[in-house]
Amino acid sequence: MLILYTLATGMAASAVRACIMAIVFWSAYVFKRKPDGPSALAFAAILLLAVQPLQLMDPGFLLSFVVVAGLMGFYPTFHALKPKIFQADPWALEDTTVFWKKMARRAFNPVWNLLAASSAAWLASAPLSLFFFNLATPVSLAANLLVIPLAFVILLTGCLSLMTGVVSAVGAEIFNHANLWFVSALLYVVDRFESIPQGYSFVKAPRVEWVAAAYLLLGWVAITKAKKIRVVMALLLAATLAGGWAYYSDRRVTMEVSKMGPVQTILVNGPGSEDV
Pairing of strands 201-202, 135-136: antiparallel
**What is the CB neighbour count within 10 angstroms for residue 158?**
18
pLDDT digits (tens, 9 = 90+) for 211-225: 888 888 888 777 776
Gap between the Cα atoms of 210 and 20, Å rounded: 31
Q: How confident is the model at residue 276 (pLDDT cuts 50, 70, 90)?
A: confident
Burial 114-138 (b: 16+ CB within 10 A, else e): ebbbbbbbbbbbbbbbbbbbbbbbb
pLDDT digits (tens, 9 = 90+) for 101-128: 777 777 888 888 888 888 888 888 888 8
Q: Which of 170, 158, 82, 68 is nearest to 121 (CA)?
A: 68
Q: How confident is the model at residue 237 (pLDDT cuts 50, 70, 90)?
A: low
Selected residue with higher pLDDT from 202 and 142: 142
pLDDT at 187 (0 to 100): 93
pLDDT digits (tens, 9 = 90+) for 125-163: 888 888 888 878 888 888 888 998 999 999 889 989 988
Residue 240, H or E segment? helix 228-249
Helix (H, G, I), strand (E, B) or coil at 226: coil
Please answer whether residues 54 and 77 qualify as being in contact, where contact means their C-beta atoms are separated by less than 8 angstroms.
Answer: no
pLDDT at 174 (0 to 100): 92
pLDDT at 8 (0 to 100): 80
Gap between the Cα atoms of 93 and 11, Å rounded: 47
Q: How confident is the model at residue 227 (pLDDT cuts 50, 70, 90)?
A: low
How confident is the model over 190-203, as a mean pLDDT? 82
pTM to 2 decimals? 0.71
- Beta-ladder partners of 254: 269
